[in-house]
Amino acid sequence: MNNFKIPQNLIEEFEISGVLALGEYHGVKENYWFYEEFLNQLPFTPNIAVELKDSERLELEKFLTNKEIDYTKFNKDGRANVEFFNFLKKFKDVNPESKILCFDEIDTAPKSNDEVNYTRDEQMAINFLNNYEKPTLIIAGNLHIQKSKINLGTSELVPMGYLMKNKIGNFPTILVIPTSGSFFNNEIKQIKPIVDVKINEILEKGDMNYRYYIEESHPVTIFNP
C-alpha cells in the first residue's frame, strides 16, 4: 500500500476535540495497516476504543498477555480477528500506559429497565462517554460513527456518533472504504467496486468528515479453535 499523509488540520481537530473516530468495513485486513500508519504519524499517542463486547474484551486481555483464549467467545462478523488483535497487542506493547476501551455491551453500563430501552448505538455511546479519556481514537463500524441520523428506508438509525456529538460537540471522523476485493463478515464477501476516487489519500469532506479509500481489500484471518 502507498503511504499517505495526515492533513495538519485533521491532527489539530483531534487535539482540540480529544476524540477521532475511524469507521470501517469489518473484516478488511488492510484496515489495520492504515490504523498503524495513522498512529505512527500522530505527534501524540492516544488511547484506543474498539467495538468489542465484554466477553470479547476478556479474551482480548488474555491475548495481550500471551494467554490462551477462547475462540468461541468471538462474534463472527469480522470484528474480532487475528490481524486486529495483533495490531492492538503491538500498540499496547509499545504504549503500555495507553488504554484500550471496549464499548460494545459493557456489563457495568446501564441496563434496560422500567420504561428505558436503549438501542445498541445509545448503549455504545453511553459506554464510551462514561469511560473514555482524552485523547481517544475510536475504531467502529462505519454506520456507528456517523454524526447524522441515517434513513434506512423503513426505519431511522440514530448512530453512536450523532449521540456523542450532541454531548461533546463535533469531532473528526474518517470512513475507511475499500474500493475492490473482498472481506469477511460471517462469510467471504465481495466488495462492490468503486471507481474514480483518489486512492490511499485522506480526503476532506467538510464538517470534520474525511474518507480514506483502500485500493484493494482482503479478508481478515478468523480465529479458529
Average pLDDT value over all residues in the chain: 93
**Could you report the per-residue pLDDT of 185-205, keeping only the tens digit for each?**
999 999 999 999 999 999 999
Q: What is the enclosing helix (H) or strand (E) of 93?
A: helix 82-94
pTM of this prediction? 0.94
* The predicted structure's pLDDT at residue 106: 62
Provide mean pLDDT across the span 147-161: 93
**Would you place residue 143 in the very low, low, confident or very high pLDDT band (cuts 50, 70, 90)?**
very high
Which residues, including other chains, have CB under 8 Å from residue 38's CB and lie 6 or more apart?
Answer: 6, 22, 137
Does 1 have pLDDT greater than 60? no
**Could you report the per-residue pLDDT of 51-107, keeping only the tens digit for each?**
999 989 999 999 999 999 998 899 889 999 999 999 999 999 999 999 999 999 765
Distances (CA, A) of 206 to 171, 172, 174, 211: 12, 10, 11, 10
* The predicted structure's pLDDT at residue 152: 84
Does 116 have pLDDT greater than 90? no
* The predicted structure's pLDDT at residue 75: 85
